[in-house]
């Protein structure tokens, strides 16, 4: 084991040599004697000793106390003082250097050895403490969470860089100051006390999951999650430590995910609402058409018999006008419901051919309420070919773009602002859709980030930050691109470019209603009011109505024959799909005579069924003319010529 080294600083040679011999005899390495402060610093620089034996009164400009201070600051070496004069003034000066021992001359051998051993032991303990403190300090300085410690009086004793970043204050500004004055914490927009004080007074941990922290420089409030705990040693409270982190982004993402989940639920709800509206709406549409036709017939009969007085003519005209208004309102409701159904339908597995003008018109109707109080919408729909895409998903893209354009315009001055929708072809034959607004525009520093998922400049709850990201993904999947041109205060132009479809599908010929012979028709629907309406408008046919598919199946099993079976698709108990499968087992020829009615809210099972079955189907609400056309077309197929 290497002996401990000792540097002797003593300007009396005889005393110095005597001390050196004594130390050598004890097994220490008393490797050098210095007569002055400069010699002491030179020896310590060449070889740092483990301990310095320092005479207080030495020759030169610096005495032993000043030299000890230099050695302590530069080399962190323990110093044991020697002096022949121990007056109070010298002792007080010596104490400022934090010596490890104090011996008076003449020095006894035993006292010298004890002082050296105690100095070495204490120096080793303090070295370990310094290393441990340095390790803990470096650790706390390096961790990603903010850390603040206070003493028993609540004064800040430690403040790491993350705490500086979140508070906007430096460590040098806050050390020694009360934590309650430094940490500006808020809850429900009201100031609250620091949890450090509670941790000390209650001698327990305090956890707060959502607190506002006000930044000292910007005044902005960030959401933090924090915990404070008392520092206890041997059942004695020494202070407290608080650890906190910024959860603002995490909270915003959580709110955006919750909003996205609510939107997904809204899509499911929209399908159900559409189905519930379509059944009574079918009754309104059909009955209004039925009454209008009868009123027209009565008016013609009265006119032919010269019994139509001016008063009756006016009343019949008013009835016709009222029924026309009912029909217009019902048509408007039908479009709204159709838009809800389009929004709620599941995404198709493959792209078809889409009409971008129709998709834009749907998006324009869907966003009318959002736009109405902000801007006037103008359109320039130049003829463009179909594109290979799904029309519903393109509509979703255009809804996002129109809503973004509207929200870039402050409400209240729609006449002074505009949103322009345009379709055209570019020089390469690609289809171009442009959405231009007169809004606030986009600053260059965020323009490159607007397609990033969850990035939004809108307040929390107004946008998810997913619209443009999803839109770009949809357009890219169809081989297209989205470009944005914008400048602050100059509005924004969003340009969607899509490749045109290479081939066109022929449009089906319109079905015209014709006068047909009386047929025997079975109508199955779980809504009695729908049955009554259908029975009324199908009065030229022999109609049998039942409210359950099982009842209709029972009629067929008893041998009843029908030229046509008009069956609702979605019914409680046995639905239209199950009814079809049962009839198919009974008679494939009879199964061909089934025409399905649907009000939306299709299940995955019924969606696949309608895509694969060859039977005709009609969507509620339908007009009397369209229903008559379906019946005529069906009966002409199933009856022999």
Does any domain span residue 233? Answer: yes
Q: Is residue 255 part of a domain?
A: no
Domain boundaries, position 230: 143-246
CATH code where residue 170 lies: 3.30.450.20
Q: What mean pLDDT do residues 134-149 have?
A: 77
How far is it, in rounded angstroms, from Cα 464 to Cα 408?
A: 15
Using alpha carbons, list the distances in angstroms from residue 380 to 21, 384, 420, 433, 434. Answer: 108, 12, 8, 10, 10
Which of 109, 138, 167 terminates a domain? The answer is: 138
Handedness of CA 304, 305, 309, 313 (dihedral sign): negative
5-14, 558-567, 593-602, range with the lowest pLDDT = 593-602
Instruction: Note the pTM of the prediction, 2 decimals.
Output: 0.43
Do residues 349 and 277 both lie within one domain?
Answer: yes
Least confident of 131-140, 299-308, 443-452, 483-492: 443-452
Judge if 343 and 457 occupy the same domain. Answer: yes
Over residues 609-631, mean pLDDT: 83
- Token pair, residue 356, equals 């971008």
At residue 451, the pLDDT reads 65
pLDDT of residue 47: 93
pLDDT at 461: 43
Which residues, including other chains, have CB under 8 Å from residue 462's CB and lie 6 or more apart? 407, 456
The lowest-confidence range among 453-457, 534-538, 556-560, 609-613 is 453-457
In a domain, 265, yes or no: no
> Interhelix angle for 467-477 vs 391-407, to 10°?
150
- In the β-sheet with 156-159, what is the strand arrangement from edge to edge? 156-159, 146-151, 236-246, 221-233, 206-214, 185-187, 190-192
In a domain, 617, yes or no: yes
**Angle at CA of residue 361, ends 356 and 364, nearest 5°:** 125
Mean pLDDT of 192-219: 88
Contact of 502 with 518, CB cutoff 8 Å: no
Residues 280 and 405 in one domain: yes
Looking at the predicted structure, is the pLDDT value of residue 266 above 80?
A: no
How large is the average pLDDT for residues 208-223? 87
- What is the number of other CB atoms lying within 10 angstroms of the CB of residue 418? 18
Task: Indicate whether 278 and 390 sit together in one domain.
Answer: yes
**CATH number, domain with residue 599:** 3.40.50.2300
On average, the pLDDT of the chain sits at 83
Residue labelled with tokens 């020095």: 107
CB atoms closer than 10 angstroms to residue 252: 17
Residue 524 in domain: yes
User: What local confidence, expressed as pLDDT, does residue 437 receive?
Assistant: 92
Same-domain check for residues 454 and 570: no
- 489 in the same domain as 465: yes
Cross-strand partners of 18? none
* Mean of pLDDT values over 60-82: 90
608 within a domain of the structure (yes/no)? yes
pLDDT in tens, 302-313: 878 877 788 888
CB-count exposure of residue 579 (10 Å: 0-12, 13-18, 19+):
buried
What does the block give as tokens for 394?
């393109």
| pLDDT score for 609 | 86
Mean pLDDT of 443-470: 58
Does the N-terminal peptide bond of residue 610 adopt cis geometry, omega within 30 degrees of 0? no
Q: Which of 109, 106, 105, 83 is nearest to 94 (CA)?
A: 83
Q: Which residue has the tokens 């559409």?
A: 274
492-498: strand order across its sheet: 376-381, 418-425, 431-437, 492-498, 481-486
Confidence tier at 600 by pLDDT (50, 70, 90): low
Let me know: does 497 contact 430? Beta carbons within 8 Å.
Answer: yes
Same domain, 581 and 620: yes
pLDDT band at 452, cuts 50/70/90?
Answer: low
CB burial of residue 332 (10 Å; 0-12, 13-18, 19+) = exposed
Residue 607 has pLDDT above 80, yes or no: no
Higher-confidence position of 320 and 167: 167
The verdict on 233 and 278 lying in the same domain is no
Asked whether residue 430 carries a pLDDT value surpassing 60, the answer given is yes
Specify if 505 maps to a domain.
no
What is the SS3 string spanning 538-563? CCCCEEEEECCHHHHHHHHHCCCCCC
**Across 281-285, 504-508, 542-546, 595-599, which has the greatest mean pLDDT?**
542-546
Residue 270 has pLDDT above 70, yes or no: no
Question: Is 253 part of a structural domain of the chain?
Answer: no
- Summarised one tens digit per residue, pLDDT across range 520-557 is 999 999 888 888 888 888 888 999 999 999 999 999 99
Predicted pLDDT at 263? 63
Question: Residue 420 carries which DSSP code?
Answer: E
Are residues 31 and 18 both part of a single domain? yes
Does the pLDDT of residue 625 top 90, yes or no? no
Locus of tokens 């198709």: 348
Three-point CA angle 382, 383, 384, nearest 5°: 110
Is the pLDDT reported for residue 420 higher than 90?
yes
Q: How do 101-104 and 146-151 pair as beta strands?
A: unpaired
- Counting the structural domains of the chain, the total is 4
C-alpha to C-alpha distance for 248 and 428, rounded to whole angstroms = 46
Instruction: Report the C-alpha gap between 384 and 501 in whole angstroms.
Output: 10
Q: Where is 287: in which H helix or E strand?
A: helix 248-304
Computed on alpha carbons and rounded to an integer, the radius of gyration of the chain in Å comes to 45
């Amino acid at each position: 084991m290497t002996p401990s080294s000792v540097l002797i600083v003593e300007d009396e040679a005889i005393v110095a040599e005597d001390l050196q011999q004594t130390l050598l005899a004890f097994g220490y390495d008393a490797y050098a004697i210095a007569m002055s402060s400069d010699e002491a610093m030179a020896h310590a620089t060449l070889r740092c000793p483990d301990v310095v034996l320092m005479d207080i009164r030495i020759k030169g400009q610096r005495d032993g106390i000043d030299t000890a201070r230099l050695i302590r600051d530069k080399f962190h070496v323990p110093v044991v003082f020697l002096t022949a004069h121990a007056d109070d003034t010298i002792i007080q000066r010596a104490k400022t250097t934090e010596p490890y021992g104090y011996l008076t001359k003449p020095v006894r051998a035993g006292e010298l050895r004890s002082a050296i051993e105690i100095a070495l032991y204490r120096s080793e303990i303090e070295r370990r403490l310094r290393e441990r403190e340095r390790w803990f300090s470096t650790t706390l300085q390096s961790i990603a969470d903010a850390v603040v410690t206070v003493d028993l009086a609540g004064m800040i004793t430690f403040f790491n860089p993350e705490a500086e970043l979140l508070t906007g204050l430096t460590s040098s500004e806050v050390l020694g100051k009360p934590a309650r004055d430094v940490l500006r914490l808020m809850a429900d927009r009201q100031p609250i006390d620091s949890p450090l004080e509670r941790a000390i007074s209650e001698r327990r941990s305090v956890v707060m999951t959502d607190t506002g922290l006000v930044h000292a420089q910007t005044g902005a409030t960030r959401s933090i999650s924090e915990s404070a705990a008392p520092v206890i040693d041997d059942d004695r409270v020494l202070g407290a430590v608080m650890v906190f982190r910024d959860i603002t982004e995490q909270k915003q993402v959580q709110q955006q995910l919750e909003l996205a989940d609510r939107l997904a639920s809204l899509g499911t709800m929209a399908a159900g609402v559409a189905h519930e509206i379509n059944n009574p709406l079918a009754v309104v549409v059909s009955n209004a058409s039925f009454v209008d036709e009868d009123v027209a017939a009565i008016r013609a009969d009265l006119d032919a018999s010269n019994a139509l007085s001016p008063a009756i003519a006016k009343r019949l005209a008013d009835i016709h006008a009222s029924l026309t208004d009912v029909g217009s309102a019902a048509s408007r409701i039908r479009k709204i419901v159709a838009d809800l159904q389009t929004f709620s339908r599941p995404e198709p597995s493959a792209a078809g051919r889409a009409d971008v003008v129709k998709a834009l018109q749907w998006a324009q109707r869907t966003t009318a309420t959002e736009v109405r109080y902000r801007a006037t919408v103008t359109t320039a729909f130049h003829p463009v070919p179909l594109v290979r895409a799904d029309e519903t998903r393109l509509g979703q893209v255009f809804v996002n773009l129109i809503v973004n354009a509207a929200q870039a315009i402050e409400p209240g001055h729609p006449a002074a602002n505009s949103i322009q929708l345009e379709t055209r072809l570019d020089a390469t034959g690609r289809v171009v859709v442009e959405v231009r607004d007169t809004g606030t525009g986009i600053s260059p520093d965020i323009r490159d980030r607007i397609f990033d998922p969850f990035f939004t400049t809108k307040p929390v709850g107004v946008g998810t930050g997913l619209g443009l990201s999803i839109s770009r993904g949809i357009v890219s999947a169809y081989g297209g691109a989205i470009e944005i041109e914008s400048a602050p205060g100059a509005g924004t132009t969003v340009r969607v470019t899509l490749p045109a479809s290479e081939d066109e599908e022929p449009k089906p010929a319109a079905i015209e209603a014709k006068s047909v012979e009386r047929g025997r028709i079975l109508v199955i629907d779980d809504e009695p009011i729908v049955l009554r309406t259908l029975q009324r408008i199908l009065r030229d046919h022999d109609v049998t109505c039942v409210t359950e598919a099982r009842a209709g199946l029972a009629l067929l099993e008893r041998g009843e024959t029908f030229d046509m079976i008009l069956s609702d698709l979605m019914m409680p108990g046995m639905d239209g799909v199950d009814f079809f499968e049962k009839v198919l087992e009974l008679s494939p020829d009879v199964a061909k005579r089934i025409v399905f009615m649907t009000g939306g809210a299709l299940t995955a099972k019924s969606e696949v069924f309608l895509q694969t079955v060859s039977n005709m189907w009609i969507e509620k609400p339908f007009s009397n003319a369209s229903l008559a056309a379906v019946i005529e077309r069906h009966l002409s197929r199933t009856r022999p010529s």
